[in-house]
Amino acid sequence: MMKYDYLIVGSGLFGATFAYFAKQKGKRCLVIDKRPHLGGNIYCKKIEGINVHKYGAHIFHTSNKQVWNFVNSIVEFNRYTNSPVANYKGKLYNLPFNMNTFYQMWGVTTPEEAMAKIEEQKMKAVTKMYADGVTEPRNLEEQAQVLIGNDIYEKLIKGYTEKQWGRKCEELPAFIIKRLPVRLTFDNNYFNDKYQGIPIGGYNVLIERLLEGIETRLSCDFFVNRQELSTLADKIVFTGAIDEFYNYQFGKLEYRTVNFETEILNISNYQGNAVINYTDKEIPYTRIIEHKHFEMFGEEIEACPKTVISKEYSSEWIKGSEPYYPVNDKKNNTLYLKYKELARQEKNVIFGGRLAEYKYYDMHHIIEKVLNLSIQF
């Protein structure tokens, strides 16, 4: 039986990048995935010539030149710039909060006017808190109001957040919104990072090239054949849920999940933008993604006669659904620390990624983490 240096459980960005660097150092890797495809949550399904982000929109962004140069050495990235729009009861607002938003909200046209309006609203929120005998925000609602005021909170934050988390803002901890980006410029670029884009040809190209020449097994569930698989390699790289790895011995960690309602439409352009958030609570979905806008620009949009949209519905994670967002409240973080202590004692298991570390990661953070790990190979 062939012996590997690493058994990598999960072919998402962490697992695929780890395998790539391990191979560069002459290590033998076996990558397994319980899904019938590679790529984890960045997998794209081709529909009507459009790369559809099956597990939700993924936009690569970073200010780390080493990371940007690395991913572009694997596949060239396009010029996509994330500029989402919010739809509140049929009226559109630019995101993140910038001079376009403030003009749309209040009709102000200068940074001075915008700042005066924001400060006026923030002061009302602080005064109300003081009247209640408190000096620090007690929940997400108060935190948002002292950061940006009531108008933007009510129209662009409250409904979206309550749908996202399945709880009223008054019941959510303040730390979820520690700060809100406020730009006094007419700049709709959501990210402040120096670099951003989508791999030309889609994320599948990135994953396939990272795993080129590396043995992979799909529809292979680690927990079904754990004992046998664990004997195949000197070390395990585990990117799945850490509580499942330890058979939930301390209890289950909580997640939010997302359900997608995907439609093929017989028009070339449905909403004119990749991402539109629906921020009023009466609309059950949080946003609509029109996938072609990630990779098609200008005349390409009309040249593709159909379009594909996905409506996203946030809900509590239940067994059998995909865990997306860790619920990093005090209860869950305390539980995770118990699992983390078990993981710390492992000599031949490396835990990495969103599920294994119970932490939300942007894609560039995953690359950075593996780059740092690769020094130890």
Catalytic positions, written as ranges: 179, 183, 256, 287, 312, 360, 362
Cα–Cα–Cα angle for 349, 354, 359, nearest 5°?
Answer: 110
- Eight-state DSSP code of residue 295: T
- Can you tell me the distance from the alpha carbon of 339 to that of 247, in angstroms, rounded to the nearest whole number? 10
CA separation, residue 113 to residues 99, 183, 296 (Å): 10, 13, 37
Per DSSP, 14 falls in state H
Backbone φ and ψ of 4, nearest 5°: -110, 155
Query: Rounded to an integer, what distance in angstroms lies between the CA atom of residue 33 and that of residue 10?
Result: 5
**CA separation (Å) from 91 to 85, 88, 280?**
10, 5, 11
Distance separating alpha carbons of residues 70 and 75, to the nearest angstrom: 9
The 10 Å CB-count burial string (b at 16+, else e) for 45-84 is bebeebbbbbbebbbbbbebeebbebbeebbebeebebbb
Q: What do you get for the CA distance between the two ends of the chain, in Å? A: 23
* Contact yes or no for 238/245 (Cβ under 8 A): yes
The answer to whether residues 370 and 21 touch, using CB atoms and an 8 Å cutoff, is yes
3-state class of 55 per DSSP? coil
